[in-house]
Amino acid sequence: MSKSAVLVAREALVAGQAALPEYASPYSRQDYTQPQLFALLMLRQFLRTDYRGVVALVAEWSELRRTLGLAKVPHYSTLAHASRRILADAEAGGLSLASRMPWSGVPEPAA
């Protein structure tokens, strides 16, 4: 387990790219990819903060923005909406990636 927020963000971005489509809809504004939003959500959990807190930290942390490829920082409500969408996919039997991340506090399912 890493204590580096930048390393966690990088690993979450790679995991999100492997498991998620780039955009939730072909009609979305395409300001942020789903893997970027997923990485921000995992970073929020890792840092144990709320949506506004993670947005404030990323706004001040240029290395994190560079690691995630963010040209601008999303509004906290964008993360809240992405969280509901990604969790809804997981509950429907799709995405189970968030529960497998080592810093999530949720044990991996037994094989």
**Average confidence score pLDDT of the chain:** 83
What is residue 3's predicted lDDT score, i.e. its pLDDT?
86
- Please give the model's pTM, rounded to 2 decimal places: 0.77
DSSP assignment letter at 26: T
Dist CA 14 CA 29 (whole Å): 22
DSSP assignment letter at 61: -
Each residue's pLDDT tens digit, 22-76 = 998 889 889 999 999 999 999 999 999 999 999 999 999 999 999 999 999 999 9
Report residue 94's pLDDT band, with 50, 70 and 90 as the boundaries: low
Average pLDDT estimate for 75-89: 88
Longest dimension (CA), the chain: 41
> From the centroid of its chain, how far is CA 56?
15
What is residue 85's predicted lDDT score, i.e. its pLDDT?
87
Cα dihedral value 65, 95, 86, 60, nearest 10: -20
DSSP assignment letter at 75: P
DSSP assignment letter at 96: -
